[in-house]
Amino acid sequence: MPRRGLVAGPDLEYFQRRYFTPAEVAQHNRPEDLWVSYLGRVYDLTPLAQEYKGNLLLKPIVEVAGQDISHWFDPKTRDIRKHIDPLTGCLRYCTPRGRFVHIPPQLPCSDWANDFGKPWWQRSYYEVGRLSAKSRSIRIINTFTSQEHTLEVGVLESIWEILHRYLPYNAHAASYTWKYEGKNLNMDFTLEENGIRDEEEEFDYLNMDSTLHTPAILLYFNDDLTEL
């Protein structure tokens, strides 16, 4: 593990998070910044949108920008759902929003180019990470500056990934010791693995507002300005 000043850890300049929350995906909802999620994965379709800019076949995809489109797919085959076309009696892709990029036309067509290789939904090139099935809130308190921020994070994210989320608020976040209830956190573990329980279900069971109590991680400065 390379060392960064007083803190051992990954090179966060090239660090890539594994998980994204639905709220994060929803922020990428424009043709020039177009993300979708399906079957537990998150995809950046911006290059596809640029390639087919102005093409009517892009319209159904733009309409669902920032959304989860798992219902488009057969989870067993990971292909677009199919049905029997009542017009031709043939097995066709099911596209209620209309035909979109890489979906063949309903009838034979001489101007349809099928030399694109794999359709976009089968290309790993567009994948940017996994979709967080569940997220939770965590407070991060800088004991040096008394600043406090609340982040929404995925339950399976490591503390390193949470630190990466926190960097916009504190570029020196890796120069702090991260603690919970006086104990140093294992940066490779999740919140739950570090003993920071998600008590949302218990609050719901008691008919209490879970936002009234959000666990807090305390950051202690190590006197090592490590800026990314």
Kindly list the domain boundaries of the chain, sorted by start residue. Answer: 22-131, 133-221
For residue 64, the model assigns a pLDDT of 97
Most confident by average pLDDT, 79-93, 166-180, 202-216:
166-180
| C-alpha radius of gyration, the chain, whole number | 22
Please tell me the distance from the alpha carbon of residue 69 to that of residue 61, in angstroms, as a whole number. 10
pLDDT exceeds 60 at position 227: no
Average confidence (pLDDT) over 86-98: 88
pLDDT exceeds 90 at position 187: yes
Average confidence (pLDDT) over 3-17: 60
Tokens (6 digits) for 109: 């067509």
From the options 3.10.20.90, 3.20.20.140, 3.40.50.300, 1.10.940.10, give the CATH code of 133-221: 3.10.20.90
> In this predicted structure, which of 71-75, 112-116, 119-123, 215-219 has the lowest mean pLDDT?
112-116
Please tell me the distance from the alpha carbon of residue 131 to that of residue 45, in angstroms, as a whole number. 15
Greater confidence (49 vs 3) lies with: 49
Q: Could you tell me the sign of the dihedral formed by the alpha carbons of 178, 181, 182, 186, in that order?
A: negative
CATH of the domain spanning 22-131? 3.10.120
pLDDT exceeds 70 at position 12: no
Same fold, 22-131 and 133-221: no
Please tell me the distance from the alpha carbon of residue 103 to that of residue 81, in angstroms, as a whole number. 12
Average confidence (pLDDT) over 87-103: 90
Average confidence (pLDDT) over 133-144: 94
pLDDT exceeds 50 at position 73: yes
Share of the chain above pLDDT 70, in %: 90
pTM: 0.82
For residue 208, the model assigns a pLDDT of 77
